[in-house]
Amino acid sequence: MQRWGRRLGFRVCCLSVLIGWIMCCFANSSLTIIIAEIFQGAGVKSLLLVCMMIISEMVEPRIRNQSIVLYGVFQTFLVLFVHTIGNFIHWKTISLIMCFPLALSIIFSFIWPESPAWLAYRGRFEESRKSFTWLRGKNKESLEEMNALFNAQREFLRAEMTTKTAKRSTPLMKSVWRKITTRDFYIPIFHVFVLLTSYYWSGNLLIVVYAINIVGKVIENSESAFIGMIVIDIAFIIGNLSCPILLKYFGNKPILLTGGAFSVLFLLGLSTVLYLQEIGTIAADSMLCLYLLVGFMVFSSTALYMIPFGVATEIIPLRHRGVAGSIYIALMSIFYTSSLKIVPLLIMHLGIYGIFLLYAIILIFCLAWIWKYIPETRNKTLQSIEEHFVRNSKDPDIAIGEEIDENFL
């Protein structure tokens, strides 16, 4: 993606998922299904990041955050749709149906232009100007953003040309070490780590995936547990729909911190009530846990479901989106697998109340870091966000041009 463009990266990811669905459609053994899942897993995780990078680079700052969050909203409804029709249609038929939107996505990728940010990064400024104008028009704000992008990339390319000879004589490992120890690389990467932790280790994913098991453990009545699972799904949808509406009026950090703080309170409440049920102080068939679970899902789905992913994408500097993007995908995959696979072990040793307490503690540390160190990205251009990290970079060869080129205005 970083070398050959965002559109090619998008097509490769879609093709990987498409191959997975085709293999599922014609699978006649468990081995074929496992191989198909490998293609789908690699494609879907990569596609999430590629899509968010494309949105962040092509959509104007005023609606960028809402557009990224809407990606998650559409994903939620489509997953629920697929789960619903799975009760009425054979899974091989569903596999065939799912091939069509992916095929259309690949076709549509030939219609929209290449990312202007990537074209500028590659030094193709005339193509970048045409792409930027096609996407955003010629209003004053768009032209100023385009000029800031061009000036920054020209300075970067000059610095690259100046140090090109020195880099050729530098050993590979030393060159890599020099890159990853620059402030504009490792600081955003650590921010990405914290933001992803705030979602994967806050309990939201646990409840989404293990909803039946969790509700069954906290509510002994099977009929109430079934109703509770439906209510939790509704709460999840309400939280998803609330997020883009709130982003119209508030920044990423206020929503993330407020929703995260309420999520912590509900997690602590869940832990306390479950412990009191364990020792017999509260009745085992009490519905109090269900109310707390619903409250947690509303706030965590509003604040933690998509905003951390969007902010994590926006803060990665353009020049590092190749290597940093790969680390981003690796972290998502590791966190997703580990946070789900370790749950039975944690419940065995800590108890269900202990795991909610652990999630609350982890989320508190994440929110403290986000409040203190991660910048607000709402209504800011990607270039201004990048300057936050690059301006104080340890690398003296990289600087950001501050002047506006009047020739483009």
User: Domain 183-388 falls in which CATH fold?
Assistant: Growth Hormone; Chain: A; (1.20.1250)
> Distances from the Cα of 32 to the Cαs of 186, 226, 325, 333, in angstroms?
39, 34, 29, 22
* 6-112 maps to CATH 1.20.1250.20: yes
Computed on alpha carbons and rounded to an integer, the radius of gyration of the chain in Å comes to: 23
Q: How many CB atoms lie within 10 A of CB 298?
A: 23
Q: How does DSSP assign 375-392, residue by residue?
A: PP-TT--HHHHHHHHHTT
Question: For residue 22, which of 87, 106, 98 has the smallest C-alpha distance?
Answer: 98
Q: How many angstroms separate the first and last alpha carbons of the chain?
A: 30
Q: How does DSSP assign 149-213, residue by residue?
A: HHHHHHHHHHHHHHTHHHHHTS-HHHHHHHHHTSHHHHHHHHHHHHHHHHHHTSSHHHHHHSHHH
pLDDT given for residue 391 in this prediction? 66
Q: How does DSSP assign 306-365, residue by residue?
A: SHHHHHHHHTS-GGGTTHHHHHHHHHHHHHHHHHHHTHHHHHHHHHHHHHHHHHHHHHHH
> Distances from the Cα of 185 to the Cαs of 1, 182, 325, 376, in angstroms?
18, 6, 11, 18
CA 249 to the chain's CA centroid: 21
> Distances from the Cα of 201 to the Cαs of 33, 195, 198, in angstroms?
29, 10, 6
Quote the CA–CA distance of 383 and 344 in Å, as a whole number. Answer: 44
Quote the CA–CA distance of 328 and 193 in Å, as a whole number. Answer: 8
CA 57 to the chain's CA centroid: 15
Does 6-112 match 183-388 in CATH topology?
yes
Quote the CA–CA distance of 24 and 41 in Å, as a whole number. Answer: 13
Quote the CA–CA distance of 274 and 265 in Å, as a whole number. Answer: 14
pLDDT given for residue 255 in this prediction? 95
The encoded tokens of residue 405 equal 């080129």
With vertex at residue 346, the alpha carbon angle to CA 307 and CA 303, rounded to the nearest 5 degrees, is: 15
Q: How many CB atoms lie within 10 A of CB 263?
A: 28
pLDDT given for residue 406 in this prediction? 37
Quote the CA–CA distance of 76 and 162 in Å, as a whole number. Answer: 48
Quote the CA–CA distance of 311 and 43 in Å, as a whole number. Answer: 22
pLDDT given for residue 283 in this prediction? 76
Quote the CA–CA distance of 387 and 73 in Å, as a whole number. Answer: 30
pLDDT given for residue 169 in this prediction? 53
CA 273 to the chain's CA centroid: 32
Each residue's pLDDT tens digit in the chain (409 positions)? 988 999 999 999 999 999 999 999 888 899 999 999 999 988 998 998 999 999 999 998 888 988 998 888 888 888 777 777 777 888 888 889 889 999 999 999 999 999 999 999 999 999 999 999 999 888 888 888 898 889 888 888 887 777 655 555 556 666 667 777 788 888 999 999 999 999 999 988 888 777 777 777 666 666 666 777 778 888 888 998 999 999 989 999 999 999 999 999 999 999 999 888 888 788 777 778 888 988 999 999 999 989 999 999 999 998 888 889 999 999 999 999 898 888 888 888 888 889 999 999 999 999 999 999 999 998 888 888 888 887 655 444 433 333 334 343 3
Interacting residues of 344 by C-beta distance below 8 A, sequence separation 6+: none
Segments making up each domain of the chain, as ranges: 6-112, 183-388
Buried b / exposed e across 139-153, counting CB within 10 Å, b at 16+? eeebbebbbbbbbbb
Contact predicate 36/30, CB 8 Å:
no
Quote the CA–CA distance of 163 and 226 in Å, as a whole number. Answer: 64
Q: How many CB atoms lie within 10 A of CB 340?
A: 14
pLDDT given for residue 399 in this prediction? 39
Virtual torsion, Cα 173, 175, 177, 183, nearest 10 deg: -170
